[in-house]
């Protein structure tokens, strides 16, 4: 990563404080192992495969938190250019519009400007990953039965951040020299969700052509 790019990504422009794993826990060890394999330049396709003998829920939990932290950071770098004027609708080009629903304030899918959608999305994910009943941090506390379903929804919504950034704000990413970093993060995310089949294929359609060039 270039020095200029490091400065961009170290400004801590994340919307939210990073969620970290407790040292000494299995998830902390898995997180360290996943990071080490990425840093060693191992093939991304190999890096996302569930290690032998490890629990699927633990592996997914580690990646959901890591992707949240990193995608949060990517959006944070362009958020000043994503305004209600530039992006009055949360979309991925003219064919794809994303509406917000959270069963709290927004009981029905509601069209919102992109920055408002992003804020609600990051808030919603942060609540999930900081909820001990969903993402338990204590050793021996089991995951809830619907854990994978919750993670699928989180990952599906995080994918929409990539869609919006790539289709509407990639010029800013290029100007900042962050293209390689964002592309690597996207490839890692794409290989993970397809390896474990945790995002419906039709959700991946908006970036299908770009993905074919980048990942195949």
3-class DSSP assignment, residue 99:
strand
**Bridging pattern class, strands 99-100 and 110-111:** antiparallel
Task: Dihedral sign for Cα 43, 49, 52, 54, please.
Answer: positive
Is 87 annotated to bind a ligand? Reply is yes
Q: Which two tokens stand for residue 177?
A: 């020299």
Is 169 annotated to bind a ligand? Reply is yes
**Closest by CA position to 21, among listed 54, 56, 65:** 65
Across the strands, what pairs with 111? 99
Q: How far apart are CA 177 and CA 8, in angstroms?
A: 9
Q: What is the DSSP letter of 145?
A: T
Is 82 annotated to bind a ligand? Reply is yes
3-class DSSP assignment, residue 102:
coil
Angle between helices 56-78 and 114-129 (to 10 degrees): 150
Q: How far apart are CA 4 and CA 2, in angstroms?
A: 5
Q: How far apart are CA 18 and CA 207, in angstroms?
A: 27
Is 181 annotated to bind a ligand? Reply is no
Residue ranges for the known binding site for Zn(2+) are 82, 87, 164, 169
Residue ranges for the known binding site are 82, 87, 164, 169
């Amino acid at each position: 990563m270039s020095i200029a790019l490091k400065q961009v990504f170290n400004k801590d422009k994340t919307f939210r404080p990073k969620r970290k794993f407790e040292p000494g826990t299995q998830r902390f060890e898995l997180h360290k192992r996943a990071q080490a394999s990425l840093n060693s330049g191992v093939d991304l396709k190999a890096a996302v495969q569930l290690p032998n003998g490890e629990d699927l829920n633990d592996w997914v939990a580690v990646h959901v938190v890591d992707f949240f932290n990193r995608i949060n950071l990517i959006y944070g770098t362009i958020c000043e250019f994503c305004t209600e004027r530039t992006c009055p609708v949360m979309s991925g080009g003219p064919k794809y519009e994303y509406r917000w629903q959270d069963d709290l304030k927004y009981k029905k899918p509601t069209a919102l400007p992109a920055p408002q959608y992003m804020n609600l999305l990051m808030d919603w994910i942060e609540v999930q990953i900081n909820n001990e009943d969903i993402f338990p941090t204590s050793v021996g506390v089991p995951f809830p039965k619907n854990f994978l379903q919750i993670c699928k929804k989180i990952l599906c919504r995080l994918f929409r951040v990539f869609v919006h950034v790539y289709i509407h704000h990639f010029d800013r990413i290029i100007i900042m020299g962050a293209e390689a970093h964002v592309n690597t993060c996207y490839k890692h995310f794409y290989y993970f969700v397809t390896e474990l089949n945790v995002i419906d294929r039709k959700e991946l359609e908006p970036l299908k052509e770009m993905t074919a060039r980048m990942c195949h």
